[in-house]
Amino acid sequence: MGKPKHYRPPGKKKEGNAARYVTRSQAIKILQVSLSDFRKLCIHKGVFPREPKKKVKGNHHTYYHLKDVMYILHDPLLEKFREIRAYQKKIKKAKAKKNDELARLLLSRSPSYKLDMVIRDRYPTFVDALRDLDDPLTMVHLFAMLPAIDRLKIEPKRIHNCRRLCHEWQAYISRTHKLRKAFVAVKGIYYQAEVDGQNITWLAPHARQQVLTDDVDFNVMLTFLEFYEALLGFVNFQLYHSINVKYPPILDPRLEALAADLYALSRYFDANHKASIQVPQLAGSSRSEQEQESDLRLAQLQHQLPANEPGALMHLVQNAASEIEEDEATRDCKKLFQNKKIFLSREVPRESLLFVIPAFGGIVSWEGDGAPFAEADDSITHQIVDRPAQGHVYLSREYVQPQWVYDCVNARIILPTEPYMVGRDPPPHLSPFVDDEAEGYVPDYAKTIKQLQAAAKSDVQPLPGMGSDDLNNTQNLLAEGYISRTEAMEAAEKKQKMMLLEKQYHDELKMELQGVSTINKQSSAVDIESKEESLDVQQSAIDSEDLSTLMMSRKKRGLAKAIEMGKQRKKERVEKLKERKRKYRSSSEI
Amino acid sequence: MGKKAKTSRKGKKAWRANISTEDIHDFFEKSTKDAHSGGSLASAPTESLFFIDKSKDLSVKRKIEKKREKVLRVDSVLEKNPFVEAVPSSKQKSSKKKKEALKAKDVAVQDVPTNDCVPDSGMVPLWGNEGQHGGKARQVSNQSIIPAVEVEPPGCSYNPSFGSHQDSLAQAVAEEMQKVYKNELGPQPVPLTVMGEVIDEDDKYFVEADDGSDDEMNEENLSEEDPATEKRSSKTRRITRVELNKRARRKELQRKEAEAKKAKELAKDIDSLPDILQEIAKEDEERQKKHLRRVIAKQERLKACPPRLGKYKFQPAPPQVLLSEELTGSIRKLKGCATLARDRFKSLEKRGLIPPSAKSGRSFSLRYTIYLVQLTMTCGFAYGQEVERFCFQGSLTVQFLLLFKRKSWNVQSRNFSSSNGKDEAYLEQEAERKIGWLLKLIFAGTATFVAYQFFPYMDERRMKIVEIGGGQELLNMLGSAKDERTQKEALKALSALSKSDEAVKALQSAGAIAAIKSTPDTFQDAEIGTYKSNLLKRFQELRYDISS
């Protein structure tokens, strides 16, 4: 037999991948912890397996970078884990000796660990934490829906904590009108909010029974959840402080008991603001409506509110600043459902709508105890129902299906309620996460929405000094212009062509002017030449592209090619879709 | 003075005069000297030699402090200015102070009592008030390019537009079909039973004998060759000069020939230089293209799945699309995804945060499933619809079991006829092993029967079953059945089907009459007889020739 493949003479140091990467079992040996502890540490510290170029130990191992392992080694958390393990042994021993009292005593004093330093280490700035919030939010929202099962060690306490964190987050988003998109999919409802310039997307499951399958390792999930809970807690803390609200919010126990946490939270916000600010302007119109009802609650909440004046002044200043900070999108969102009073029927997804509607400035109530106003309220403008037929109908309000709310939110205008009436099949619910323009294919309903948006825009800002006819005309023009960008792009292309032609023509003219005195007969030649010139222009464009590709590294060139291929594929897909639609149309006509 | 008389040099005295006594003298001299100066130093104790001078001693601590007190000139210059804070020369531990300062700031901003600032949850503002704490970020290099929350395509909306829905559906179906094709095109599994007769002991001997003779033959062949080689190697011959010369000449000739050939070839190559250049260019281009393809493929792969991180390959979860008949347009009636936990877990795997695990979707024992099926058979109606639907799909095999499992748990994603091809294949195999075809067929028959007891007025559906091949299958089952129970079930199902005229017609054309007639009458089970007579009567009613 010859040398083994990765032979290293004795006394020579390891090099390359052999030195840089260790397998999981080696890492455990280095760290001197059990496998489960190692897994936990990895998740908490954000150390994940890697794929080395050359797998020295074989293909079926999991590899970690040695630096990562050292990073764990130098963390105080490791020591803490060892301590906990030692302590667990003590408890076990006491139990084995039937010394129940000692066991209980030990159990009550068992050491625990905190993750705040780890979080601080992993996310040095708040923006970093926000950037990474997608996964935590989705996970926490998911666990808020899961059943508590002893077998999988999912404790009710944690589920409650998850619910609390979710509601706190939603209350903040809704309060500050940061929600941007909502998409009801089969999996659940996708939301996107914009906080501090970061787009945060998360998925909240539908309010249905979730099934826990065996192929999911809940130990891993719960460890991730542990970290995410801590992270979300700190993020909420920071966010609440940024709007001057005390963080662990104290909620009205009555509302909490009725599982109306979100509403209780919004009340809490109101109360906090009212106490600290003399001029309650923040919440706009919704405040005046809610004030009367919240007075009673306020009296109860008063005891926990600070009342010194200089602080209030500070608040005022800060609030003014934050008011200025609000960007245009937020203002838009705030105004969407302004002056709308919406009532939710029993069968609609309450949690989601209670979150979405206030986020866009609407006032909302529901059927049940603790609701702000009852169904019989005359000032209700819309009622959300999701049943085949509505029995008793108030004429003063419109009955719409829940999809209307989501579509309005995504389109940022109040859509006509007619297609969403009770008993009708609503128009398709389009994904706001798809960039139609980039995709190239615009569904029909998106086109109508675009038209409506254009109309709304021109309604709001009529151009001065124009007759109504003109206005209509411009509206039409605008609408046409907005129909789709693909067409616009085509137009642009045409324009470019025209420009090119024009240029060519000018060139020709110039040439002619130059040549007219000297050579008259060569006009045909000039013509050819100018054509060549125009060709030259194109050629030069291509050349410049080539040059840029030449300048790129090999890898980048590959990427560029990949992008181009992707574009090509997309275009083909669009063509296919169009074709399919045409076929479908023709077949349905027949 | 007269000279001393010369003495003999060889005498005793002369020898004595020659011995040097200097060292002895030296010693005496030294000792006397020492005695005069007060004893030898070597023998003196250390204490007497050295002493600690305590006349000018400062305590060490004081000394260090003295040094500390020394103020650098730069500092002293700065210190004189009351508006400038002195810069400490070394970093000081000030975490406590900083925390306090932060707290103080919070108090100022928040205007709440200090004990409220650190609430019962023990939280402190982690990132300060500006959202920064000035630490260094750890470089995390292996962040996946896959986003944490992937938004589903628009076709997965609960109420999608036609085009996008078709698109997503097509994608899902394509994925399923890919699995199926992979199964079909993959290597055949090793059969559990080998066809052919069992060889008994006596035959075995013959077989072995045959083999043995073959071996011998081979050996003989080998041995025939061997002596020849041995002979050649052992034979040594004298090489004559003539022979050597001949060899040299021959060698020379060969060399010349080779040279000529080489030159010729070279000339040819030079002539075809442009061709070669072209070839090289082409090769280069091809290589580059190959590289490009690889890069692109890698990019695509990384977008879809993580690098290989462990023993097992990542397997993506099926997409969640509603079937066309499941589109309701109402959130209330929406059949949402119930396995979001799995979805999240898969996402973690997909982003490479954890190595993929081996566990597949089905860890549920088959026995339990069968039990469930029987349970549903007995309690019937709740699942009647499912049974009917299943029959509609026309798969009269063990998929039935799967369907039941899927429906009753709602675990499986969507009901494409094979939601997870591999698993199903596996399960089917297991079913074969455990309960055999017989039981399976009984289930199938019962299923059809149950379905058509509950839905007696659906002629076209019955027809559909026959069309799809259910009738044929039942007939096959009837023909091949070896025990009475199977026959009974098959007949039951057929009589349920026979309520529709078209179905009867189709059955007749499939050769049902002969099959039914050939079923032996038994005395133990009267039901078989009744079913048979029922069926035949049915055929008679529709004027089919029974006797044929």
Beta strands A341-344 and A363-366 are parallel
Please judge whether A215 and B357 are an interchain contact, meaning their C-beta atoms are less than 8 angstroms apart. yes
Q: In sequence order, what are the residues at sequence separation of 6 or more whose Cβ sits closer than 8 angstroms to the Cβ of residue A223?
A: A39, A40, A43, A44
Task: At B119, give phi and psi (nearest 5°).
Answer: -75, 180
Please answer yes or no on whether B291 and A401 come within 8 Å at the CB atom.
no
pLDDT at B252 over 80: yes
Interface test with B, best of A48, A348, A445 (most B CBs within 10 A): A48
- pLDDT the model gives residue A465: 40
Q: Higher pLDDT residue, B205 or A529? A: B205
Quote the radius of gyration of chain A (alpha carbons, Å): 32
| Token pair in block for residue A528 | 């050819």
pLDDT the model gives residue A488: 53
Position B292 scores a pLDDT of: 93
Query: How many Å lie between the alpha carbon of B96 and the closest alpha carbon of chain A?
Result: 15
Residue B461: pLDDT above 90? no
**pLDDT score, position B144:** 75
A349-353, B192-196, B226-230, B488-492 — most confident range: A349-353
Taking only residues 315 to 334 of chain B, the set having a beta carbon closer than 8 angstroms to any beta carbon of chain A reads 320-322, 329-332, 334
Residue B361 forms contact with A (CB below 8 Å): yes
Instruction: Give the pLDDT confidence score for residue B109 in this predicted structure.
Output: 41
Q: How confident is the model at residue A378 (pLDDT cuts 50, 70, 90)?
A: confident
Q: How confident is the model at residue B519 (pLDDT cuts 50, 70, 90)?
A: low
State the average pLDDT over residues B150-166. Answer: 87
Greatest CA span in chain A, whole angstroms? 119
Q: Which of A357-361, A435-439, A496-500 has the highest mean pLDDT?
A: A357-361
Out of B119, B163, B357, the one facing A580 most closely (by C-beta) is B163
- The pLDDT of residue B212: 47
A185 to B159: CB separation less than 8 angstroms, yes or no: no
Rounded-to-5 percentages of helix, strand, coil across chain B: 60, 0, 35
Across the interface, of A134, A183, A202, the residue whose CB is closest to B157 is A183
Single out the residue of B365, B415, B412, B425 nearest to residue B386, CA to CA. Answer: B415
Q: What is d(CA B383, CA B380) in angstroms, rounded to the nearest whole number?
A: 6
What would the pLDDT profile of B474-487 be if each residue is shown by its tens digit?
A: 676 666 665 666 67
Between chains, do A205 and B127 touch, taking CB under 8 Å as contact?
Answer: no
Average pLDDT over residues B439-462: 48
> From CA A372, how far away is CA A370, in angstroms rounded?
6
Structural element, H or E, at residue A528: helix A523-551
d(CA A181, CA A184): 10
> What residues pair up with A344 in beta bridges, in sequence order?
A366, A384
The segment with the largest mean pLDDT, out of A557-566, B102-111, B461-470, is A557-566
Give chain A's mean pLDDT.
78
- Predicted confidence band at A492 (pLDDT cuts at 50, 70, 90)? low
More confident residue, B295 or B399: B295
Distance from CA of B455 to the nearest CA of A (A): 27
- Pairing state of beta strands A198-205 and A341-344? unpaired
Report, as an integer, the average pLDDT of B351-376.
56
User: Scanning the structure block, which residue is given the tokens 């923006």?
Assistant: A127
Mutation for A interface: B106, B114, B124, B138, most A CBs within 10 A: B138
A86, two tokens:
């030692």
Distances (CA, A) of B385 to A378, B142, B448, B503: 45, 50, 11, 21
Residue of chain B nearest A554, judged by CA positions: B292
Instruction: Write a three-state SS string for B411-453.
Output: CCCCCCCCCCHHHHHHHHHHHHHHCHHHHHHHHHHHHHHHHHH
Residues 148-187 of B with CB under 8 A from A: 148-149, 151-154, 156-164, 166-167
Phi, psi of A194 (to 5 degrees): -120, 110
| B412 interaction partners in chain A (CB closer than 8 Å) | none
Q: Is the pLDDT of residue B394 over 50?
A: no
Neighboring chain A residues of B133 at a CB cutoff of 8 Å? 120, 124-125
Average pLDDT over residues A165-175: 91
Tell me which of A154 and B75 has the higher pLDDT.
A154
Specify whether the CB–CB gap between A421 and A399 falls below 8 A: yes
Question: Do residues A365 and A371 lie in contact, with contact meaning Cβ atoms separated by under 8 Å?
Answer: yes
User: Average pLDDT for residues A510-533, to the nearest whole number?
Assistant: 51
Q: Which one of B252-256, B304-308, B414-418 scores highest in mean pLDDT?
A: B252-256
State the best of A75, A180, A186 to mutate against chain B, taking most chain B CBs within 10 Å.
A186
DSSP one-letter string for B315-375: -PPPP----GGG--S-TTT----S-HHHHHHHHHHHTTSSPPPS--S--S-HHHHHHHHHH
Q: How far is the C-alpha of A362 from the C-alpha of A292, rounded, in Å?
A: 17
What six digits make up the tokens of B237?
């011959």
Residue type, A150: D
User: Looking at residues A438-462, what average pLDDT do you find?
Assistant: 76
Which one has a higher pLDDT value, A316 or A570? A570
**Which chain A residues contact residue B124 at CB under 8 A?**
116
**What are the distances in angstroms from CA B150 to CA A64, A341, B483?**
26, 34, 55
% residues pLDDT > 90 (chain B): 13
| Tokens coding A240 | 């609440």
SS3 of A150, please?
coil
> In chain A, pLDDT over 70 holds for what percent of residues?
74
* Residue A179, burial from CB neighbour count under 10 angstroms (0-12, 13-18, 19+): buried
The closest alpha carbon to A240, from A138, A126, A132, belongs to A126
Coil, strand or helix at B458: coil
Residues of A in contact with B347 (CB under 8 A): 135
Please give the model's pTM, rounded to 2 decimal places: 0.58
B110: distance to nearest CA of chain A, Å? Answer: 7
What strands, in cross-sheet order, belong to the sheet with A188-195? A179-184, A188-195, A198-205
Q: What's the pLDDT at B241? A: 93
- Cα within 13 Å of Cα(A241), Cβ side: 29
Q: Pick the residue from chain B with its C-alpha nearest to A310.
A: B111
Q: How far apart are CA A297 and CA A270, in angstroms?
A: 11
Return d(Cα A560, Cα B292) in angstroms, integer.
10
What mean pLDDT is predicted for residues A120-140? 91
SS3 category, A64: strand
Least confident range of A274-278, A465-469, A507-511, B170-174: A465-469
Q: Is the pLDDT of residue A534 over 60?
A: no
How distant is the Cα of B362 from the closest Cα of chain A, in angstroms?
8
Distance from CA of B446 to the nearest CA of A (A): 30
Interface test with B, best of A215, A217, A404 (most B CBs within 10 A): A215
User: Span B259-278, mean pLDDT?
Assistant: 93
Q: Do A121 and B135 touch (CB under 8 A)?
A: yes
pLDDT at site A233: 93
Beta-carbon contacts of residue A368 (< 8 Å; ≥ 6 apart): A258, A260, A346
Band of residue A244 on the pLDDT scale cut at 50, 70, 90 = confident
Q: Cα torsion at A139, A141, A145, A148 (round to 10°)?
A: 50
For residue B96, what pLDDT band results from cuts at 50, 70 and 90?
low
- Contact between A533 and A506 under an 8 Å Cβ cutoff? The reply is no
* % chain A with pLDDT above 90: 31
Interval A415-426: pLDDT, tens: 888 888 888 888
Q: Which residues in chain B (400-439) have CB-CB distances under 8 A to chain A?
A: 409-411
**Helix, strand or coil for residue A100?**
helix
Other CB atoms within 10 Å distance of the CB of residue A377: 15
A558 vs B295, B307, B360: nearest CB: B295
Which residues 70-129 of B have a C-beta within 8 angstroms of A? 106, 108-113, 116, 119-127, 129
Matching residue, tokens 């007969």: A521
Distances (CA, A) of B194 to A220, A555, B189, B197, B198: 45, 54, 12, 9, 10
Average pLDDT, chain B: 69
Residue A62 scores a pLDDT above 60: yes
pLDDT score, position B97: 55
